[in-house]
Structure 1
Amino acid sequence: MKTMSATEASRSFASLLDEAERGGTIVVTRGGRRIATIGPATAGNGVAVAELLGSAKLDEDFAADALAARQLEAPTWPAD
């Protein structure tokens, strides 16, 4: 894992992204404190999430509670 200052990351952002694209993880610091971690994005396309949601079995009480919550009146906020 590589560490660089925020200033250094700002000046060489393109190379930082190249490093992440190659699988590297970069910790960005400011004043010696870790403020961000930049690394490769996940390559998922949502299929696993869709399968999980499709296989979930909700009990009837939960479904009734969710329906009741949907039917509640939306709160009104005072005008500015």
Structure 2
Amino acid sequence: MRTLTATHASRGFSDLLDAVENGETVRISRAGHVVAELRPVTPTTGRALREALARTPGMDDAFEDDITAATALLTTDEGDPWRDA
């Protein structure tokens, strides 16, 4: 893994993105301290999301009722209260 200064990274940003796109992880330093790390994005799929959600515990009844009540408040058409003032 290579480390670039922020100045060098900004001057060669396109080349930096090419390197990351090709699988390289690059650290960016400023004033001698590493402040960022650029790495390729891990692709995600709908299948991965469904699997993650399947491992997540469901909502309890009280929380589900709160969500339903809050959603009802958002979808109720009460008109514009500022127009009637």
TM-score (norm. length: structure 1): 0.71
Cα distance in 2, alignment partners of residues 29 and 55 from structure 1: 38
Report sequence identity in percent. Answer: 34
Helix, strand or coil: the match of 2:36?
strand
1:57 Cα offset (Å): 4.5
Match of 1:16 in 2: 16
**Number of residue equivalences:** 71
> Structure 2 vs 1, CA of residues 25 and 67 (structure 1 numbering), >3 Å: closer, same or farther?
same
> Structure 2 vs 1, CA of residues 71 and 13 (structure 1 numbering), >3 Å: closer, same or farther?
same
Once the two structures are superposed, the pairs formed by residues 51-66 of structure 1 within 5 Å of their partners are 51-54=51-54, 56-58=56-58, 62-66=60-64
Cα distance in 2, alignment partners of residues 63 and 14 from structure 1: 51
Which structure would you say has the larger Rg?
2
Q: Which amino acid aligns with 1:39?
A: R
Q: Which amino acid aligns with 2:34?
A: R
Match of 1:77 in 2: none
Once the two structures are superposed, the pairs formed by residues 39-54 of structure 1 within 5 Å of their partners are 39-54=39-54
Cα distance in 2, alignment partners of residues 69 and 43 from structure 1: 31
1:51 Cα offset (Å): 2.8
Cα distance in 1, alignment partners of residues 36 and 52 from structure 2: 30
TM-score (norm. length: structure 2): 0.67
Cα distance in 2, alignment partners of residues 41 and 27 from structure 1: 15
How well do the aligned residues superpose, as a CA RMSD in angstroms? 2.2
Q: Which runs of 5+ in 1 are unaligned?
A: 74-80
Helix, strand or coil: the match of 2:50?
helix
Instruction: Name whichever of 1-10 and 40-49 sits farther off.
Output: 40-49
